[in-house]
Amino acid sequence: MADRRDLLLEIGTEELPPTALERLSVALAEGFAAQLTQHQLSFDTIQRFATPRRLALRVTALVTTQPDQEVVRKGPSVKAAFDAQGQPTPAALGFARSCGVDMLAVEREESSKGSWLVLRQFLPGQATSELLIPSVERALASLPIPKRMRWGDREEEFVRPVHWVVLLFDREVVAGKVLGVPTGRDTYGHRFHRPGPIRLSDPGDYEELLRETGRVEPDFPRRRALIRHQVEALASQVGGQAVIDTALLDEVTALCEWPCAILGSFDPRYLEVPPEVLIETMQKNQKYFPLRSPDGALAPSFITIANIESLDPAQVRAGNERVIRPRFADAAFFWSQDLKQPLSAFGDRLKTVVFQDQLGTLAEKSQRVAQIGRYLAGLLAYDEELVARAAHLAKCDLMTAMIFEFAGLQGIMGRYYAQHSGEDPAVCAAMEEQYLPRHAGDRLPASDCGRILALAERLDTLVGIFAIGQRPTGVKDPYALRRAAIGVLRLLIETPMELDLRDLLEFTAQELRTKIDASTAANEVFDYILERLNGYCREHALDGDVVDAVLAVGGHFPTDLFRRILAVQDFKRLPEADALAIANKRTRNILKKTGAITQSAVDRRLVVDPAEVALAARIDELAPLVTAHLAAKHYGHALKLLARLRAEVDAFFDQVTIMAEDEQIRANRLALLARLESLFLGIADLSRLQSVNRSSLEY
């Protein structure tokens, strides 16, 4: 049994970028594991550690040597390797030379395909310690670092300057350099609590020694849980509830090594400012956790995480309270200034802001969105004037002082300013809801006015940007068109809105005609949005072949497409599904090979074979019921009815010669197949379903 030992790797740096820390930690573990696997160095586990000043890995039960290997190299055939006199040819000599041996070391191997020259070489496994430093270097080089830096006069590059490297294999240091820094066994604790070196004897000592002696919690998940616990406990002590944003919690975890929660407060008069503004300031600028009172209102308190266990916490608290005060004062000033005029008064300034050179200003975009919104409202029997009013006000808050300072609050502040201006409640709600959904999994607009405005805004952006030839390519998507396309699908399918997407896009293209010819863009955007339907359906655990089967028969209503996809997904689970998918494939192949059908209706006088008679009768029986369900969009019911055709369809293909010699009978049987196919094509092309035995599908 191979000898196994534990390994510790630690890269000590200056403060790492907090938003990238966990990603770098995961990538280092994956990259180093890949290197070990590539070298056939087996191990049990890899534990990750990450703090602002270090990335570390502990590998357990790592083998001390590679396994021995026998390498077999195949050369030319014996026939090509020797001439008529039995002397080696240049091909044979070249093979031996490339292997670094003479011809005496080359063997012959017989196989069913002939005789070949081979060279068998035994390669003893290298010591793991000899492979570690190159493996570490390659793993570090592969980290997802957009911009690497150099420091001092060194040539090495990394995300931040490296100050120390620990590389312990069992109790021994693996001697060498990593990123130009000599390896050793000394780690370093907290910058203030324990700044000096801490000697490590064994990889297993690392975690506890840093925690107890170094005043550093090296385990990222454990440190995150500790911060959450401290914040919740401190909030509970004052009868509040902490607002813990997941992204902020991760960022704060990446900013400290020894977290200590401290409660602070601010002047309650600032609560007159909308709470979203204060929360934005606390979370984004100061990395504080806001608190809410038991009634849900924002409390005049916050919790900050210090990266030090201070001897005088009151001084830390006072410092944080002092820092937040001018930020809140600025927010209160912006709020009071913006309220001096109604929201609509900011509209004229939209004429000075260009949305896109070829598509005009924000004022022109607002006008287009208003017209698109009116059209949508008419289709949905909603108040067109309310939608138009919402569209004209939608971007006005972008011109306020508050949004110049807090851009992330656009829409939210629009709602507040619209309320203070006395706008209709539906218009006020739409100010914020126009941006929903902002991201995957985000909520959708709750009001009719909001969902219409959100849809109109996205339609104008998609068609306009496609019309100027700037559709997304690769990872470049400056106008967030992928997100807009998914937003259109979610708005239409989930709210839901029974609307013809192609019609909406063509209307939008018409509204753009004064700026640019968007006539071809409507079709491009339609195809682009339907391409996004695959990803949308995957998020709902729906199969790609099911989506393909439905899209193959077309449709312009996303709500209807999604209903059919759900119905086919359920149908696919039925025991009859595979057989009917095979029959559909066979039918499609037959009709494709025979070309145009010479008759449109089935002549019952020519239906003579018993299996043929049974299938025709069954279709006659089910067709009216299926048609009624299709008209009512009850696709699941229709497919369950069609599943009853399985026995007759199987018998028809087994017992009936479709391509009969008699031309009339042959044409009639093809017409019967065409009628059968048309029933299924009202929903999907089942021949595209993949969960069938493809070997039986050929005609």
> Among all chains, which residue has been given the structure tokens 């197949």?
673
Rounded Cα–Cα distance for residues 75 and 85 (Å)? 20
Rounded Cα–Cα distance for residues 142 and 423 (Å)? 55
Q: Tell me, what's the pLDDT at 599?
A: 63
406-409 LR contacts (CB < 8 Å, sep 24+):
406/277, 406/280, 406/281, 406/331, 408/280, 408/284, 409/276, 409/277, 409/280
107-113 LR contacts (CB < 8 Å, sep 24+):
108/78, 109/74
Closest to 218 (Cα-Cα) out of 180, 251, 256, 183: 256
Please answer whether residues 301 and 264 qualify as being in contact, where contact means their C-beta atoms are separated by less than 8 angstroms. Answer: yes
- Tell me the domains of the chain and their CATH numbers: 4-66+127-212 (3.30.70.260), 69-123 (no CATH), 220-338 (no CATH), 344-541 (1.10.3210), 569-696 (1.10.730.10)
Which token pair is 208? Answer: 């506890």
Please answer whether residues 224 and 245 qualify as being in contact, where contact means their C-beta atoms are separated by less than 8 angstroms. Answer: no
> Among all chains, which residue has been given the structure tokens 């909308």?
274
Q: Tell me, what's the pLDDT at 238?
A: 92
SS (H, E, C) 4-58: EEEEEEEEEECCCCHHHHHHHHHHHHHHHHHHHHHCCCCCCEEEEEEECCEEEEE
> Among all chains, which residue has been given the structure tokens 């069954």?
618
- Angle of helix 558-571 relative to helix 635-642, nearest 10 degrees, comes to 40
Omega within 30 of 0 (cis) for the link into 182: no
Rounded Cα–Cα distance for residues 571 and 591 (Å)? 24
Which token pair is 641? Answer: 């009815």
In degrees rounded to 5, what are phi and psi of residue 661? -65, -35
> 3-class DSSP state for residue 303?
strand
Neighbours of 425 (CB within 10 A): 12
By CB atoms closer than 10 A (0-12, 13-18, 19+), residue 459 is buried
Helix H or strand E encompassing 323: helix 313-338
Rounded Cα–Cα distance for residues 629 and 456 (Å)? 32
> 3-class DSSP state for residue 111?
strand
Please answer whether residues 679 and 621 qualify as being in contact, where contact means their C-beta atoms are separated by less than 8 angstroms. Answer: no
Which token pair is 503? Answer: 């019609």
Q: Mention every residue, 6+ apart, whose C-beta is less than 8 A from residue 225.
A: none
Which token pair is 14? Answer: 């200056």
Relative to beta strand 181-184, strand 162-169 is: parallel
Rounded Cα–Cα distance for residues 668 and 513 (Å)? 51
In degrees rounded to 5, what are phi and psi of residue 346? -80, -5
Which token pair is 116? Answer: 């070949």
SS (H, E, C) 113-153: CEEEEEEEEEECCCEHHHHHHHHHHHHHHCCCCCCCECCCC
> 3-class DSSP state for residue 67?
coil
Q: Tell me, what's the pLDDT at 2?
A: 67
Which token pair is 589? Answer: 């192949």
Rounded Cα–Cα distance for residues 6 and 86 (Å)? 56
Q: Mention every residue, 6+ apart, whose C-beta is less than 8 A from residue 291.
A: 235, 238, 240, 241, 242, 243, 298, 299, 301, 302, 303
By CB atoms closer than 10 A (0-12, 13-18, 19+), residue 541 is exposed
Please answer whether residues 43 and 59 qualify as being in contact, where contact means their C-beta atoms are separated by less than 8 angstroms. Answer: yes
In degrees rounded to 5, what are phi and psi of residue 133? -65, -45
Please answer whether residues 654 and 614 qualify as being in contact, where contact means their C-beta atoms are separated by less than 8 angstroms. Answer: no
pTM (2 decimals)?
Answer: 0.82
Closest to 269 (Cα-Cα) out of 210, 226, 328: 328
> Among all chains, which residue has been given the structure tokens 């309310």?
386
DSSP string, 421-478: TT--HHHHHHHHHTT---STT-----SHHHHHHHHHHHHHHHHHHHHTT---BTTB-T
Q: Tell me, what's the pLDDT at 113?
A: 76
Neighbours of 278 (CB within 10 A): 23
Which token pair is 271? Answer: 């609560």
> 3-class DSSP state for residue 72?
strand
Rounded Cα–Cα distance for residues 306 and 286 (Å)? 12
Q: Tell me, what's the pLDDT at 597?
A: 63
Block means of pLDDT (10 residues each) for the chain, length 699 residues? 89 96 96 95 96 97 88 82 85 86 82 81 86 96 92 91 96 95 96 94 95 96 98 95 96 97 97 97 96 96 95 94 96 97 96 95 97 98 97 97 95 98 97 95 96 98 96 87 96 96 97 94 96 93 94 95 96 90 86 72 87 92 94 94 91 89 88 90 91 41
Closest to 454 (Cα-Cα) out of 484, 412, 494: 484
Within 213-352, strands assigned E span 241-242, 260-265, 289-292, 298-306
Please answer whether residues 183 and 189 qualify as being in contact, where contact means their C-beta atoms are separated by less than 8 angstroms. Answer: no
In degrees rounded to 5, what are phi and psi of residue 397? -70, -15
